[in-house]
Amino acid sequence: MQHAPAPAIPPSFYLKRHAQVVHALILAGVALLLAQPVLLLAFDRPWLDLLGVDSFLGLLAPPADGPARWRTALVSLLPVGGGLYALRQLWRLFSEYGHGRVFGNVAQDALMRFAWAVLLLALLLPIARGLMSVALSIGNPPGQRFLAITIAWFDCLHVLFGAVLVAIARVMVEARRLADDNAGFV
């Protein structure tokens, strides 16, 4: 009995499969992002406590009344919008990767935009959480209103991650420029 080697699978198959998995994860991320304001509006305080929405959004406590829920939901649209923009760029990037266009202009543009979106979101999320704390407490009596700015270790990690992504995107743009220059000499 002879053993026949398994047929070789082209590398583009793995890249296409990876792009499909990332697209599925992006859809899950979109659903989670869109769930944030909906959860704030749809449930009252006992349910918000049970669901852990306050920790999900980085709030000190869930909104106690209807107007506070509306204000907090409206403020939460800022990071949700930024997150949706970043995920849109990631979708574009992996669509290009799935078609094998790893070093194309569209892929590099999407990578650069995603990198900047990640960096800017990392810098702006502590501010958004602060605005949500104001939205939560603005209906309180004078002396009980507050602004809470929190910066955690993962905020710093997100900034570093964003900075690394921007650097990688710049390196890829420079590599493509050099490759185009070298191709002109041949």
Is 2 among the domain residues? Answer: no
pTM tops 0.85: no
pLDDT in tens, 91-103: 999 999 999 888 8
Side chain identity, residue 146: F
DSSP code of residue 144: S
CA nearest 57: which of 72, 41, 42?
A: 72
Whether residue 47 has pLDDT greater than 70:
no
- Separation of alpha carbons 60 and 132, rounded Å: 9
Is 1 among the domain residues? Answer: no
Is 86 among the domain residues? Answer: yes
Q: Taking each helix axis from N to C terminus, what angle separates 105-137 and 153-185, rounded to the nearest 10 degrees?
A: 160
pLDDT in tens, 3-33: 665 555 665 888 899 999 999 999 999 998 9
Q: To the nearest whole percent, how much of the chain has pLDDT over 70? A: 82
Is 4 among the domain residues? Answer: no
Helices (H), the chain: 11-42, 45-51, 53-57, 66-98, 105-137, 153-185
pLDDT at 106: 94
CA nearest 99: which of 5, 13, 2?
A: 13
pLDDT at 56: 56
Is 43 among the domain residues? Answer: yes
Is 5 among the domain residues? Answer: no
Is 107 among the domain residues? Answer: yes
Is 72 among the domain residues? Answer: yes
pLDDT at 101: 87
Total domains present in the chain: 1
The domain in which residue 97 lies consists of: 11-180
